[in-house]
Amino acid sequence: MPQQIAVVTGAGTGVGRAVTLELARAGWQLALAGRRAEPLRETARLAGGGLVVPTDVTDPAAVHALFAEAAGHYGRLDLLFNNAGTFGRAVPLEELGHDDWRAVVDLNLTGSFLCAQAAFRQMKEQRPQGGRIINNGSISAHVPRPQSIAYTATKHAVTGLTKSLSLDGRPYRIACGQIDIGNAATEMTAAMSVGARQADGRIVVEPTMDVADVARTVRQMAELPLEANIQFATVLATTMPYIGRG
């Protein structure tokens, strides 16, 4: 099997780091993107190597530079794991400031679009043509949590992004899928062990799952031949409040 090349955004921590390590164990060559250089370097150290490219994915010029550097270093691109994102502040809807709204939209939606667009361009032009994009959605792409309007709206929008990429990529052997994650144990979900607000207003401790289970699922999606695609995968802590609304 020829060497496979992946760009992972949000690779410095959490799901991004776990996916990077899983792909590295499988022999993938990796370009690691994120805002902070030091966590990226630590991920690269744990992975046994990798191209570290500090990147603000909300900045079109920075995204262009990321994919140009990855292409210059590796020569092609087989996978984008489009993972960078933020919950934003949990506040009552009427108190959410415009800057808070924009910060979540810019990172979760615009950043995902810019990275997908750059990957799409490269995958279309390279020879052999094609590649795969996996977007990190969320179970919030299906149902909201209280006080999460910006996060929920962007994750619903990521589903539309995934579908459009899938359709527009067909002529160029570009596959696109989405992984919707519920309560993987990472820094972003640490508050679950203290308690999360429920629809009825209660604060309830929620179960989590090992983030390595997410990483293995992403690897399964990534290693399919381009003639096959996992369009949507939902991976969640088995007993978290979701199915049956409780």
CA distances from 48 to 2, 21, 51, 129, 188 (A): 19, 9, 11, 28, 25
Counting every residue, how long is the chain? 246
Q: Which of 172, 192, 186, 190 is nearest to 132 (CA)?
A: 172
Cα gap 54→32, rounded to integer Å: 8
Q: Catalytic residue among 74, 151, 172, 242, which?
A: 151
Instruction: Give yes or no: 151 in active site.
Output: yes
205 token code pair = 């401790």
| Residues 41, 47, 50: CA angle, nearest 5 degrees | 60
Query: What type of residue sits at position 106?
Result: D
Q: Are 1 and 167 in contact (CB under 8 A)?
A: no
Task: Please list the active-site residues.
Answer: 151
